[in-house]
Every structure is written in C-alpha cells, then in structure tokens.
C-alpha cells in the first residue's frame, strides 16, 4: 500500500501546476460524491426507513390498544358470567323450563336433552324445547322469563314457523343451556 501511495505521490509531483489543480478539483469532487452518496444518502435512507418503521409501530400500537380493550371487555363479561354461574340457584333444567312455560301460558310439546361437550370447570346442560300452536305473545313471554330467570339460562338457537292451518299461531323450537360448576 505504501508503494502505491508513493507512486501516486510521485506522479502527482511530476504534474504541472495547472494539472495538479485540475486533479485536485476532480479528486475533491470525487470525494464529495463519495461522501454524498455514501454518507448523506445512506443516512437519508435510514431516516426514511426509521420513519416508515415508526409509522408501522404506531399502527401496531393502535391495534394492540384496541385488542387490549376488547380483551378486557370480554374478560370482564366472562368474569361476570362466571360469578353469576357460581351464585345462581341450582335446579333441574327441565323442571325450571316447565314452570316458566306454565307462567307464560305456553304449551310445551316436548323437551329433549342434548349432548354437550365436556369442560373441566363447568357442566353444561342443554335441552331442546318444542312449542306447538303458541302465540307470539306467549313465545316472547316465555323467552323473556328464561333470560331473566334466577338460574343462569341461555337460549342458544331459535327457530320459528307460522302455522299454515292457523296463521295466528307459531311452532317454535329452541335450545336452552345452563352451566353449573363441577
């Protein structure tokens, strides 16, 4: 490297004054271009990359904040439901549904127990209830009593059909479930 540098120095010293100025100007321009493209442009690129990453991070923070609020909301509702299950009255689901049907003057055609998946914390009991030839008022009253019962009851599915032979009446089928701690 020293040999190359000494040869370049000797070649530069052999040049005339005008040639030295010209080579110096070209060398300075070359160094300025290297500095501009190597340092300034690279730092500007890094700056725009950092700005882009900052924008992405801010967007991700907004999404995470929204997800955290949703999680807290769902967790709060879950805690509320679990407290209701723990403190609710226990009883036979079919008996409860029959007494609520009598109170709403709805005639129960059938109640069929349904299979439920197992859970480590709670036992779910499901019953499919079929009502035949009931009015809309009786159906609404019955469903309202189910939802506002002291026992934690939940209507999972609901199918309503008008009767062709009696247009003022409905055939209604729905599934009710309850949970109790194991």
* 148 phi, psi to nearest 5 deg: -100, 15
CA angle, residues 49, 53, 54, in degrees to nearest 5:
115
Task: Decide if 101 contacts 142 (C-beta within 8 A).
Answer: yes
- For tokens 């500007």, the residue is 44
Architecture per CATH, 93-181? 2-Layer Sandwich (3.30)
Q: pTM (2 decimals)?
A: 0.56
pLDDT digit string, tens, across residues 50-102: 888 999 999 999 999 999 999 999 999 888 888 877 777 777 888 888 888 88
The 10s digit of each residue's pLDDT in 97-132 is 888 888 888 888 888 888 777 777 778 888 999 998
- For the chain, the domains span 2-83, 93-181
């Amino acid at each position: 490297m020293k040999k190359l540098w000494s040869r370049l120095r000797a070649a530069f010293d052999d040049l005339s004054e005008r040639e030295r100025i010209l080579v110096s100007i070209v060398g300075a321009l070359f160094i300025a271009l290297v500095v501009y493209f190597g340092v300034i442009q690279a730092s500007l690129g890094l700056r725009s990359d950092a700005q882009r990453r900052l924008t992405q991070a801010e967007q991700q923070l907004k999404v995470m904040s929204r997800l955290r609020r949703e999680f807290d909301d769902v967790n709060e509702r879950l805690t509320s439901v679990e407290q209701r299950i723990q403190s609710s009255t226990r009883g036979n689901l079919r008996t409860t549904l029959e007494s609520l049907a009598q109170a709403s003057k709805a005639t129960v055609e059938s109640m069929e127990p349904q299979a439920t998946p197992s859970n480590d914390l709670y036992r779910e009991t499901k019953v499919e209830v079929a009502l035949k030839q009931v009015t809309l008022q009786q159906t609404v009253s019955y469903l309202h009593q189910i939802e506002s019962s002291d026992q934690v009851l939940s209507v999972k599915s609901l199918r309503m059909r008008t009767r062709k032979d009696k247009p003022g009446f409905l055939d209604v089928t729905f599934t009710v479930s309850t949970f109790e701690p194991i």
